[in-house]
């Protein structure tokens, strides 16, 4: 049995398109569907050993890519900073709603929240 590296599950979203169809399916069944090597082999029409080879190779590709490109780490930092912006916007929104009631500020806040939402979707 291959030991599960849960980092791989996260990285699959970022680098899955760099894998072969078989590699991607094997990883998906293994990490996201939690199937056994035997079950995955039956689904893909390959041997248990073939499944193991595909998973090992795919994991190596994915981990090497993150090592070189650092996409997941980069997007994690982006999301963290966007969350801080969101909190600061909420403070402004609350002050404005309670005290100043500026329409211009309100419109700007709405615009910012809309962009933040789209950015979050982009980084999922």
Our finding on whether 10 is near a copy of itself (CB under 8 A) is no
State the distance between the two ends of the chain, measured CA to CA, in whole angstroms.
30
The span from the CA of 109 to the CA of 34, in Å, is 42
**Of 38 and 70, which has the nearer Cβ to a copy of itself?**
70
The span from the CA of 115 to the CA of 117, in Å, is 5
Buried b or exposed e, range 43-80, using 16+ CB within 10 angstroms: ebebeeebbbebbebbbebbeebbeeeeebeeeeeeee
Our finding on whether 46 is near a copy of itself (CB under 8 A) is no
**Interaction with a copy of itself in 69-108: which residues (CB under 8 A)?**
69, 71, 74, 77-78, 81-82, 84-85, 88-89, 91-92, 95-96, 99-100, 102, 104-105, 108
Interface mask toward a copy of itself for 13-32; x: CB under 8 A: -xx-xx--------------
Take residue 101 and report the two structure tokens written for it.
Answer: 């009631």
Binding site for a copy of itself (CB under 8 A): 14-15, 17-18, 68-69, 71, 74, 77-78, 81-82, 84-85, 88-89, 91-92, 95-96, 99-100, 102, 104-105, 108-109, 111-112, 115-116, 118-119, 122-123
């Amino acid at each position: 049995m291959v030991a599960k590296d849960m980092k791989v599950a996260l990285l699959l979203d970022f680098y899955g398109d760099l894998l072969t169809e078989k590699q991607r399916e094997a990883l998906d069944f293994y990490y996201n569907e939690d199937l056994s090597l035997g079950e995955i082999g039956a689904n893909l029409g390959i041997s248990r050993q073939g499944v193991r080879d595909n998973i090992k190779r795919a994991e190596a590709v994915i981990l090497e890519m993150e090592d070189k490109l650092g996409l997941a780490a980069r997007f994690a930092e982006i999301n963290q900073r966007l969350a801080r912006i969101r909190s600061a916007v909420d403070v402004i929104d609350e002050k404005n709603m309670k005290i100043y009631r500026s329409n211009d500020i309100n419109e700007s806040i709405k615009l910012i929240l809309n962009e933040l939402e789209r950015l979050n979707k982009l980084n999922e």
